[in-house]
Amino acid sequence: MRRCLNAQSVSTYAAIAVMALCCNPSQAQFFRGGAVGGVSIDAHGVLTAPEVGQNEQMMQAWQKGLKPAPADLQQYTDMRYVSLRRLEEQVAKSRAAGEQLPEGVACMAGLLRVEYVFVYPEQGDVVLAGPAEGWKVDRLGNVVGATSNRPVLMLEDLMVALRSNKVSGGPVISCSIDPTEEGLRRAQQVASRFTSATTSAAAGRRMEEALGPQVITVTGVPATSHFARAIVAADFRMKRLAMNFEPAPIDGMPSYLHLAGKNTDAFPRWWLAANYEPLLQDPQGLAWQLRGQGVKCMTETDFVDAQGRRTHSGKASPNAQKWADLLTERFEDLANEDSAFGQLRNVMDLSVVAALLHKEGLIEHVGLELPEMMTGYELEEFPAPREVASQASFLNKRGKRIVTASGGVQLTPWHVAENLQETTELAPAREQAIAKAGAAWWWQ
């Protein structure tokens, strides 16, 4: 008979939530490189989160190292256009001169999302279009719109997306933060010895020690990339909200522990996944539109046996599903206040665009060459995220449940790019875009 962690295993006086969490800041690199989305990763790959009050101090330091956006890029616009051919030329120019990319190039002219992809065979070009504005650094270390506070698209993430989606069928891009089997086995043993006299604080300390470090896994993109840090940061911050390690930055979104009370599940698993409507495509295959909010939260309850082996149930508990649905419903509001979630959507957008370009053969179709973006330009590397410490949080409610949250982020860009819907309504937008183009690599 399988022995699982259950309500009889723990103290009667606390609902204890256990997840990956740590609290020491590390030094930022460049103007935001060492801390993305409110997390930092040291040289050993240990993930940490700044202590209360230190985000603001680091934000001021990052902002001093970031040059103001050029005046012509400052104002918010619903539609800005970026030429991939001319963007490639800008990268090649900087590399030939041995210089860093101008921040306008690195920030892709301040694009906040990719809404359209336009193809121009006669010009040998592909153009990305979407809302844009000037930028600043926020308290989480992300480069965000000066007025919207939504993260801007980063060229390095586009390069990673282009390079990772070259293979037919594309990658499964994912990250996960999970306790080890050994840690779960020790946790089972420790929990079985809890009694009604075990205090919440004591139970939490013992569970932290038993679980030990949790393992971070990244697939589909280089673990040393900014892209990887963005998806890990979103996963980490999702669990912080779920497990009540910090309040949500928006009203009406309680933690999973507050929502479920003593009716929590032992092993809920949440992950963030793609949430796009079918891409619109014109009949000639020269224009596409990305639609939908981009991200949703999914959930499933896991079982863990006495040996620490995890089994997926294939089912979601009502309360875990309710919290996942709430995050999905409030995602736009959450992303506007917590840039880690907006940054995740940005890298998802760029991955879908890259998958579309490769799947449809658009780069070859127009004769566009992107040697710098595809292979030549050497991307900055950061220590790969490897582990995080476990930490317990508890609510002073009567209950008998230990919760350890797992999950991550999962995206299959080619699947999104294959879900198409034909329309004749994109031609005017495509014609308007090229009519406004000048000699610059971006325009509006």
Give the residue among 443, 392, 420 at the shortest CA–CA distance from 87.
443
Residue 19, pLDDT > 60, answer no
Rg over CA atoms, the chain: 23
Q: How far apart are CA 148 and CA 288, in angstroms?
A: 25
Q: How far apart are CA 262 and CA 276, in angstroms?
A: 35
For 286, phi then psi, to 5°, come to -115, -5
Percent of the chain's residues with pLDDT above 90: 62
Least confident segment among 45-54, 117-126, 174-183, 203-212: 45-54
Residue 128, pLDDT > 90, answer yes
Assign residue 108 a region: left if phi > 0, alpha if psi is -120 to 50, beta otherwise?
left
Q: Beta-carbon neighbour count of residue 312 at 10 Å?
A: 11
Least confident segment among 71-80, 149-158, 178-187, 285-294: 178-187
Q: How far apart are CA 438 and CA 365, in angstroms?
A: 23
Kindly report the CA angle at 361 between 360 and 364, in degrees rounded to 5? 155
Provide the residue ranges of all domains of the chain, joining segments of one domain with +: 7-20+70-443
Least confident segment among 173-182, 374-383, 387-396: 387-396
Percent of the chain's residues with pLDDT above 70: 85
Residue 102, pLDDT > 70, answer yes
pLDDT band at 246 (very low <50, low <70, confident <90, very high): confident
Beta strand 13-20 pairing with 135-137: unpaired
Least confident segment among 6-15, 85-94, 152-161, 428-437: 6-15
Residue identified by tokens 């993260």 is 151
Per-residue pLDDT tens over the stretch 54-97: 556 666 666 666 777 889 999 999 999 999 999 999 999 999 99
Q: How far apart are CA 11 and CA 219, in angstroms?
A: 38
Per-residue pLDDT tens over the stretch 301-336: 777 777 778 777 778 889 999 999 999 999 999 999
Residue 2, pLDDT > 60, answer no
Task: Give the residue, 6 or 59, on which the prediction is more confident.
Answer: 59
Q: How far apart are CA 82 and CA 58, in angstroms?
A: 31
pLDDT band at 16 (very low <50, low <70, confident <90, very high): very low
The per-type count for the chain, helices as H runs and strands as E runs, is 16, 22
Residue 187, pLDDT > 80, answer yes
Q: How far apart are CA 145 and CA 199, in angstroms?
A: 46
pLDDT band at 260 (very low <50, low <70, confident <90, very high): confident
Please compute the mean of the pLDDT values over residues 218-224 and round it to a whole number.
97
Least confident segment among 29-38, 92-101, 387-396: 29-38
For residue 33, give both structure tokens: 């490189």
Residue 264, pLDDT > 80, answer no
CB 272 within 8 A of CB 266: no
Look at residue 125 and give its three-state secondary structure. strand
Q: Beta-carbon neighbour count of residue 188 at 10 Å?
A: 20
| pLDDT, averaged across the chain | 86
Element (H, E) at 64: helix 54-64
Give the residue among 408, 14, 319, 8 at the shortest CA–CA distance from 188.
8
Dmax of the chain from CA atoms? 77
Give the residue among 90, 30, 32, 172 at the shortest CA–CA distance from 373.
90
For 265, phi then psi, to 5°, come to -90, 150
Please compute the mean of the pLDDT values over residues 271-276 and round it to a whole number.
97
The amino acid at 104? G
